[in-house]
Amino acid sequence: MPSTLDVQALETKVKDMYRLVAQEPTGDFHFELGRELALRLGYDATRLAAVPSQAVDSFAGVGHFFDLADLQPGERVVDLGSGSGMDALYAAGLVGATGRVTGIDFTIEQLAKARGLANDSGTTHVEFREGRIEQLPLPDAAMDCVISNGVINLVPDKQAVFVEAARVLKPGGRLAIADIVTEEPLTEAIVCNVDLWASCIGGAPQEERYLAAIEGAGLVIREVRTNPYEFLSDQARGASRTYGVKSISLLATKP
């Protein structure tokens, strides 16, 4: 994290942007939202149809990882940066009523929307908690799987996120995530631009450093793949071309 990054300004910008994602998903963003994006990334149409449509409308993920996660009935799952709840509710359908899904987010409007949709749909085995993904409000070795979609790049201290993920996973547990990384290191000007951070570009780490941070947390990487994901704005696309900004999904396990 560069010393010149205004972390407080970044947090405010992220909250402002994802408040709009929750409340005005048809607005103008650097990135695509909604059902068509989810289907193109690989989500199952039948399972997606069982998720409340308002959660799907605000889906701002960057990849699909549920095949890697291989969630089983009765498992406990935590979604880091759960947003309006689409991935958490999708996961709830996979783990069933004997399982449990916990979504963690720090944007109040996203939490309110996700909680309302879970309540309205009668999904009682999912909960949404306010918190930071680098300081999870969860006990040690409590989770079978940690999931996250396009969120960790927004956090300045990514190593802390992976250390927390490893802490809450049971031995043999899985980390299955999608995120934005780069092939080439970004310039200081881009990294210190809070608008580009909030748009999932400025905070994107170089891929090898990202994977090294996961391994540094004590997790073992099992699979990495590139996703069919593109940004919408000219500014974001320009950065993608210059620095190889791309989406990956990966699976890692805790020994």
When pLDDT is averaged across residues 98-114 and rounded to a whole number, the result is: 96
Q: How confident is the model at residue 82 (pLDDT cuts 50, 70, 90)?
A: very high
Q: Write the pLDDT tens digit of every residue in 166-179.
A: 999 999 999 999 99
Q: E-strand spans in 23-168?
A: 76-80, 100-105, 126-130, 143-149
- Is residue 2 scored above 80 in pLDDT? no
Q: How confident is the model at residue 201 (pLDDT cuts 50, 70, 90)?
A: confident
pTM confidence score: 0.94
pLDDT for residue 5: 75
pLDDT for residue 3: 52
Domains by residue range for the chain, with CATH: 7-253 (3.40.50.150)
Q: Encoding tokens for residue 205?
A: 């780490």
Report how far residue 78's alpha carbon sits from residue 88's, in angstroms, rounded to the nearest whole number.
Answer: 8
Q: How confident is the model at residue 11 (pLDDT cuts 50, 70, 90)?
A: confident
pLDDT for residue 27: 86
- Is residue 1 scored above 60 in pLDDT? no
pLDDT for residue 9: 83
When pLDDT is averaged across residues 199-214 and rounded to a whole number, the result is: 91
Q: Write the pLDDT tens digit of every residue in 53-63.
A: 999 999 999 99
Question: At 173, phi and psi to the nearest 5?
Answer: -70, 165
Residue 168, by phi and psi: left (phi above 0), alpha (psi -120 to 50) or beta? Answer: alpha
When pLDDT is averaged across residues 202-226 and rounded to a whole number, the result is: 96
pLDDT for residue 231: 85
